[in-house]
Amino acid sequence: MAIFHYTIKIVGRSKGKSVISASAYLNGDVMKNEETGRISYYTSKKEVVYTSLMMCENAPSEWQIVPEENIKRFQKSVRYKRSEDKEAAIKKFKITFQKQRLWNEVLKIEKSADAQLGRSFEFALPKEWSRQEQIQYTADYIKKTFVDKGMCADWSIHDKGDGNPHVHLLLTMRPFNPDHSWQDFSSKNISGLLYVSEASLSRFAQKCGFHGYREFIYEYKQSLAPGPEENIPNFEVSEFNTYQELLNKSNALLDKAQITRITNLLVSKPRVYVYGRGSSGLVAQEMKLRFMRIGLNIEAVTDSHIMKVNSVILDENCLVIGISVSGQTDDIISSLKAAHQHGAYTLLMTARQDKSYQDFCDETLIFASMEHLEYGNIISPQFPILLVLDVLYAHYLQIDRSKKEALHEYTIQTLQPFLIK
């Protein structure tokens, strides 16, 4: 086996990333960004041993057409004339042209400053496989996991001959309609189509039992998703699929306005308590350790008796965060009710949607989950909670960042003599 790794990143405008450059890199070729006129050159990357573009069913077929004049122009280029395999050079040129067309079309539709343009993957392949096996198994995995679910996949296999063959994969974020147009469920677009305000959409979603329009759209998309397919335990595919699905769900459920509100509460409340039992208690401890190092007055309470005592000595200067995947942990729910009665601001982090939480919770933060995760068979049900925790930490860190980073460095230096060497 090669050095095992599996990383996922978002290519977005907010971080100044170029999806054209990312595609040119994994393809080892030249691509032009029609929006900026910038050309990305990666022709020196000799480790690209295979490259492919897999379009989903509803993607426009004309995007795969390569005009004859472009082919003739390429045949006059120095690169073509110097290539040893002319047929392979033409084939790669066509694939590169199609990829360039795809990502320039993405740039046309994703105009907002914080738009997510693509999702980038990198994962290892077994070096024991032949090249044909690497190509076949990777193509099957990408097709079943992504393309069959409405995504276009731009991917390549890189191999420097150092025993570490790996795949670079770039996926589209926005699905297509049956008429081959991009789907656009943004509140701005839908409100324009319905001739109503964006606020009206939000109120409608809340009347349907959701926290907001974003959560409503997420559930709507889930209702359209195909049923589960037969699980084939090959190359840890099922685990990777589960992680990917949880990432997709977490991204869809994330409410930036809510994250901002919670971050402001972490800043303004003098005392913060995090309640958690069992594995959720471990998350509470993790939250305490991370935030405490950057100056937050926070305490994790994981013992049921201490939780009950703590909940009745709180006041309006306290923020109480309860963590329960099921949303039905008795100790957590009863303690949040007591804390709410004594004036504390209460927040429940859960995967369960229940209107009754409004009676004793000032805020309910819904995170992604999957039914089989509740039994803890393969992937910890705390994984999506840790994702939300990372988002909160990142937002909290941005407030007076230099001071918090200096404090974090100081705490690490203080602990250094006690660390095991």
pLDDT digits (tens, 9 = 90+) for 127-139: 888 999 999 999 9
3-state secondary structure of 303: coil
List, for residues 271-284, the tens digit of each pLDDT value.
Answer: 999 999 988 999 99
Confidence band of 215 (pLDDT split at 50, 70, 90) = confident
Confidence of residue 375 (pLDDT cuts 50, 70, 90): very low
CA distances from 379 to 159, 160, 199, 314, 370 (A): 30, 33, 38, 35, 10
Measured between alpha carbons, how far is 224 from 237 in angstroms, rounded to an integer? 23
- For the ranges 42-46, 80-84, 306-310, the maximum mean pLDDT occurs at 306-310
Task: Give per-residue pLDDT as tens, 388-403.
Answer: 898 999 899 888 888 8
Query: At residue 146, does pLDDT exceed 60?
Result: yes
Q: Which domains does the chain have, with CATH numbers?
A: 6-172 (3.30.930.30), 187-253 (no CATH), 256-418 (3.40.50.10490)
Tokens 């409100």 locate to: 191
Element (H, E) at 366: strand 363-366
Contact 147, 56 (CB under 8 A): yes
Candidate ranges 44-53, 263-272, 349-358; pick with highest mean pLDDT: 263-272
Determine which of 12-16, 206-210, 212-216 has the lowest per-residue pLDDT on average.
12-16
What mean pLDDT comes out for the span 252-257? 83
Residue listed under structure tokens 């390429």: 74
Mean pLDDT of the chain: 85
Sheet containing strand 48-54, edge to edge, reads 6-12, 116-124, 166-172, 153-158, 48-54
- Considering the entire predicted model, what is its pTM? 0.52
pLDDT of amino acid 188: 82
Span 243-262, average pLDDT: 82
Cβ atoms of 168 and 25 within 8 Å: the answer is yes
Q: What is the pLDDT of residue 225?
A: 53
